[in-house]
Amino acid sequence: MSEAPSATYRLQLTPSFGFAAAAAIAPYLADLGVSHVYLSPILQAVPGSEHGYDVADHAAVDADRGGEDGYRAMVAEFRAHGLGVVVDIVPNHMAFQSAMAADVAEHGWESPYAHWFDWEGDRLVVPGQGVPNYRRFFDISGLIGLRQEDERVFEATHALLFRLAAEGLIDGLRIDHVDGLADPGAYLEQLRSRFDGWIVVEKILTGDEALPEGWPGTTGYETAVAVDGLFTDPLAEATFTTLYTELTGGPADFAEVAAEGKRHVIERGLAPEVDRLHRMIRELLPQGDPDELRTLLVGSLVEFPAYRSYDQAQEVGWREFGTRFQQTTSALTARGLEDTAFYRWSRLTSRNEVGGEPARFSVDPEAFHRDCNTRFGAGMTTLSTHDTKRQEDVRARLAVLTELPGEWEEFVRARCDGISPADRDLDYLMWQTLVGAWPLDAPRLTGYLTKAMREAKAHTDWIDTDEAYEKAVLERARKALADEGVPRFAASLAPYERSNVLSQKLIQLTMPGVPDLYQGCELTGYSLVDPDNRRAVDYDRRRALLAGLDGGAPPRDLDTEKLLVTSRALRLRRENPGWSTSFHVPLTAEGPAADHVVAFRRGDAVTVATRLPAGLARTGGWHDTVLPLSGRWRDVLTGRPHGPLKDLLATYPVALLIPEEHQ
């Protein structure tokens, strides 16, 4: 099996940023310090697709992105700069707008592709022409589920990928939505038998849930949530809960909102899937009362504690039901929680992240270190992805609010007054968004709020749109943009935001696992949910800034400070691969400010980061706090020798120490 990357850099390929554009930044990515480029899907998608997850032909490389010739040329350029390639693949579903689905829609079970899809009846129901009679990706009728459990489908949909891999053109695979498959474990075993490269799976772990034994690592959503939680002040939880309930009238308990979100999706978006499960269980239990069976079914779906389980029933009928039930729980959790409840309960939106649990307000360092040695390390670490609701530095700024609860309360009580045409939770979300992502222009804010209120599905949604309500909300948002207090308040957070931005980045890059950088986030990342986070990245600027740092120019702002931290940590990992696989050893500071340090050693590298910087400032700084280390160490960021934290962290809130003999 191929070795794991030292670090990956995620690129979102589009028709306007295709293989040739990706190839052009190969020198920059190599200079930055990553070992592999991590690409969004490359197979032929629906023409004009901006994301590539709507694959229309598994036997061709996407023409809009440059076709197979363009892909080969891009990989050659990557190889010339020492870069490997990780490709995102979509085994769970494909576009209904494809020759295969069209053939089944026309010929039914006589079609040679009939076995590709999980469907019922005589003909596939074309989207928009009736109730879907096929398994979908979540509730999106334009994406039809694939039966990867059928070996013929597996071979047909993976043949091109295996050919490219055999030719040395793919080094790793990221498996999208593995929970949607009938038998994820069996699929991964089959994949491993045909592909010898590095594999990670898009899998969200709930609570203390662990991956099934023998699985590859995840894409790192759980690491982002853990790192974010380190910078959220646990002492503010009660204050934030009270403020939220008083301003919005919302419940103090997220569980209530989560259940309501799931029930809404069961009754609306996933109704065909739930109806199918109801039919199946009525056939399995013909003596049962249909209404009671449906009540039990819905209750089980709502209360299911994770995205899915991986148990297989022995009896054929129950095995089929169990498979469909688990495919539905994963879709329901994603839609009911991430895409509904997370937009209905805005106590602290930096915690409402993909893979997160909004009820878990913070993460203590002991829990973080424990997870680093148990749950993390096999896959990726990340702070931002194409799926995150808001990018890493929006969350870093919002975390500061928990250290300044009085200031935040004064600011938001004067604005979230309940007079808004929006429901009060949405209004509270808007003010957090304005502060967290500032500066914002009207198109970005109104685009985000349009998506947020339709995802919340409280007064409007994607199907039954209330235009008058949306217009009133967006008009209020435009007026809020003119509030001069917003930039002033955002600016007041800057010193503490800077500390969080650099600290969370260094921790993510040096903790166990393969660090992944989402495109552009080597500088500050303040984008919101897609499509905002797919905006074009200015690589000419990044290339020039990195060249300046390498030429000896000191960082002049937070962007260049973050670039310095990122590039130096990535290069150190790449140059010392053994350090990156070493055990995670927590280190404890000594002194009056010891609780404001997160530190650990991996191999011959020591990470030192500042936690809860506003609280640190209130108590007068580091005083005589030290991080005891034997031997002579030096910070690769400043060249400063290890010493008292007030000296070591005098320039930056972070340090990356290595023994002096290594310098």
Q: DSSP state, 142?
A: E
> Percent of the chain scored above 90 by pLDDT?
94
pLDDT at 1 over 60: no
Could you tell me if 84 and 172 are in contact, meaning their C-beta atoms sit under 8 angstroms apart? yes
Instruction: Taking residues 176-187, report their average pLDDT.
Output: 96
Contact 46, 14 (CB under 8 A): no
**What band does 314 get if pLDDT is binned at 50, 70 and 90?**
confident
Which range (416-420, 570-574, 576-580) has the least confidence?
416-420
Q: Are strands 55-61 and 43-45 parallel, antiparallel or unpaired?
A: antiparallel
Q: How confident is the model over 133-177, as pLDDT tens digits?
A: 999 999 999 999 999 999 999 999 999 999 999 999 999 999 999
- Model pTM? 0.97
Res 354 pLDDT > 60: yes
pLDDT tens digits, one per residue of 434-451: 999 999 999 999 999 999
Give the tokens for residue 470.
């949306």
CA 310 – CA 619 distance, rounded (Å): 50
Query: What angle, rounded to 10 degrees, do the helices at 316-333 and 271-284 form?
Result: 160
Tell me the pLDDT tens digit for each residue of 513-524: 999 999 999 999
The tokens describing 220, both together, are 């790192």
Residue with tokens 């995620």: 10
Both tokens of 71, joined, read 């892909």
Which domains are delineated in the chain? 8-92+146-219 (3.20.20.80), 251-344 (no CATH)
Q: Given this model, what pLDDT does residue 419 score?
A: 65
pLDDT at 392 over 80: yes
Type and span of the H or E element at 76:
helix 67-80
* CA-closest candidate to residue 266, choices 299, 228, 310: 299
Q: What are the tens digits of pLDDT across the range 459-512?
A: 999 999 999 999 999 999 999 999 999 999 999 999 999 999 999 999 999 999
Residue 313 has pLDDT above 70, yes or no: yes
Tokens 């000296």, residue?
647
* 472 CB-near residues (< 8 Å, 6+ apart): 421, 422
Q: What is the pLDDT of residue 140?
A: 96
User: Which pLDDT band, with edges at 50, 70 and 90, does 3 fall under?
Assistant: confident
Q: What is the pLDDT of residue 207?
A: 83
List, edge to edge, every strand of the sheet that includes 380-381: 217-218, 198-201, 172-175, 84-89, 36-39, 8-11, 514-518, 380-381
Average pLDDT, the chain: 96
How confident is the model over 61-83, as a mean pLDDT? 98
Lowest-confidence pick of 329-333, 359-363, 415-419: 415-419
Q: What is the pLDDT of residue 579?
A: 83
Of 42-46, 277-281, 309-313, the one with minimum mean pLDDT is 309-313
To the nearest 10°, report the CA torsion of 133, 134, 137, 140. -30
pLDDT for res 165: 98
Q: Any idea which of 37-51, 92-106, 569-583 has the lowest mean pLDDT?
A: 569-583
Can you tell me the distance from the alpha carbon of 372 to that of 374, in angstroms, rounded to the nearest whole number?
A: 6
Residues 410-426: tens digit of each pLDDT: 999 999 876 677 789 99
Averaged over 386-392, what is the pLDDT?
Answer: 97
